[in-house]
Structure 1
């Protein structure tokens, strides 16, 4: 059990000085344990973010931190080259006395600590304005790292967006049917398999050499952006554990899947599920407004399809987990993963009906 004494002791390992005051748990994340810690120094409170990294998900946390430090320092250099301070626009991690950006506690727990960016906030749901600002944040992330040596990055989670593998795994789960649930979801199984080519075409384009690998974030929800508390303008991209080689279309697409759904991810009434084109356009405007010159034409052409691919991938993962007995995703009731899978399927189908409009919006802001 974590106590104030343990929290303070871990923070001291990262060279934090001043009088320890308190900590609070941040509950918005689902993978790592995150705490906001307060120290009093130089006449004012100083805030830090302390995280215990989930080493079940991230098998080699030291290499994950190597990715994070390399990428954040690269971005910091780019920002400083423009003549402005990078203090509020990129994460800054604390170093231990022996020059490391992490600390192992007595039980082998892996910890890291960063400065809290002053007067910042996150949003769990996005207005069109927040979607546009999120688009700017992830567009700048891509732009700053467009010339980063992507092959130097450690692959934190192998095959993370390998949609071909996701569907192969799904097919095996259907055949195994370990929980006897396949018969009751025959229609959903058939619908997903019918859309497999759409789900995998972006990944296949990368394998064919049409789309280049870039430094990608791989979890582009608006909740992974910090915004100014007063203006709501974007400040910094956060939650960088999944930074690794990937496709721009998948970062773009996952942001649309998560932020431009007119309903919740687990909405049971599928008549409420649709693509919010206003939010889609807002994100596209923000993203391409800063990143279009760093992308190839093939990448630009892949963006709309990337949204469909990420929605289908997420949905097929939910359905796979439902067939396997709900082992991966946490659920609140027995059919929760099935409801999620149906919702993603409905969203993907609506995207397909609006695909021409989605492409037109991309081309509008790519000019």
Structure 2
């Protein structure tokens, strides 16, 4: 099959054609475009020509990704997680729009060759939002992540592979911070003593989710673990949520991990690397909208302890990320990409300011969660 003469890199086009053939995609290859969103994997929208049933040509698109195996060092297990979760959702909710990863003739949803580790999925026409002040969009995002939880409520989380072990083990994140503080390889500890002292002063409260799980008081669930609003695809016209994407970090976790991280990201008044930490804080309108959407879908399936710790989870996830930023700053900025001097310290201070504001507003956040949970449980029982 020849490749059309278009404004494409011939080597990339030929490789994408080969990948499509391995995943048994029918129809002439037409074109591709690289999608720049995302900082980890290389993603391409690949277009094929199909007959629309009347003899006229139409375009059928797919997403092809070359997975970053440096970031994800167990890609086969990662894809097995994705396969099991997406197929469970498709079988349980056949009329719901979902991600579908195609399989090769060998029955696996990945291709490993000399050029990398590849996967191919359906393409969903949509829009995304990096940040959003539209409460209807935020509420819809909450519903999408709540739906994700609900559709997997009967899935055995223990059967999944931990793609990143101890990812949200807050106790171990604090232990790492203390170890790096003791070694102080870059002589930076004296500079960050105020931030260290505050984070250590709230350690027990920040680690309460982890401690409750260790005591068996919080159930293990399938969690997304990257619940940024830009990991939801929205309808181009109505802005209703269509489907949750980016399932690379799907693994066992706590429901608060997904709720807390979504709030930490979406409800902060400023971006997480704002140079003015005094402006950081939790926007209760955004918090309320997301909580409404999330609990509309999950209230009936959550335990009392899960509901009672959702507001706390926001504080816990914010402190956890602050420890990670600060530990990375102490050891010389080895993990997170930095674009300016003290970038990780700036991030740390912004997260600490957000966490402090969450503590001040914890009663209000709890009241919002309890009200939403009560209303939607009553609706479910009506």
Shorter-chain TM band: over 0.9
| CA distance in 2: counterparts of 1:250 and 1:350, whole angstroms | 19
**Are the counterparts in 2 of residues 92 and 115 from structure 1 also a CA contact under 8 Å?**
yes
**Which residue in 2 is equivalent to 1:284?**
291
Pairwise CA distance, 1:131:
1.3
- Secondary structure, in 3 states, of the residue corresponding to 1:347? helix
Pairwise CA distance, 1:17:
2.1
| CA distance in 1: counterparts of 2:12 and 2:138, whole angstroms | 38
**Which residue in 2 is equivalent to 1:58?**
72
**Are the counterparts in 2 of residues 24 and 36 from structure 1 also a CA contact under 8 Å?**
yes
Pairwise CA distance, 1:62:
1.1
Q: Spell out the pairing of 1:331-342 with structure 2 (5 A cutoff).
A: 331-342=338-349
**Which residue in 2 is equivalent to 1:99?**
107
| CA distance in 2: counterparts of 1:25 and 1:345, whole angstroms | 37
- Is it true that 1:45 corresponds to 2:59 in the alignment? yes
TM-score, scaled to structure 1: 0.95
- Is it true that 1:25 corresponds to 2:34 in the alignment? yes
Pairwise CA distance, 1:105:
1.9
| CA distance in 2: counterparts of 1:306 and 1:26, whole angstroms | 33
Structure 1 residue ranges (4+ consecutive) displaced by more than 3 angstroms after TM superposition: none
Structure 2: stretches of 5+ with no match in the other structure: 1-8, 52-56, 375-382
| CA distance in 1: counterparts of 2:40 and 2:214, whole angstroms | 30
**Which residue in 1 is equivalent to 2:25?**
16
Q: How many residues align?
A: 359
**Which residue in 1 is equivalent to 2:200?**
193
**Are the counterparts in 2 of residues 130 and 222 from structure 1 also a CA contact under 8 Å?**
no
Deviations 1:241-278 (A, max 9, x none): 11111000111000000100010111111222110100
Q: 1:149 aligns with which of 147, 151, 156?
A: 156
Deviations 1:87-143 (A, max 9, x none): xx2101111122221001224x111000101x3121111232221111100111111
Q: Spell out the pairing of 1:209-224 with structure 2 (5 A cutoff).
A: 209-224=216-231
- Secondary structure, in 3 states, of the residue corresponding to 1:97? coil
**Are the counterparts in 2 of residues 179 and 323 from structure 1 also a CA contact under 8 Å?**
yes
- Secondary structure, in 3 states, of the residue corresponding to 2:311? helix
Structure 1: stretches of 5+ with no match in the other structure: none
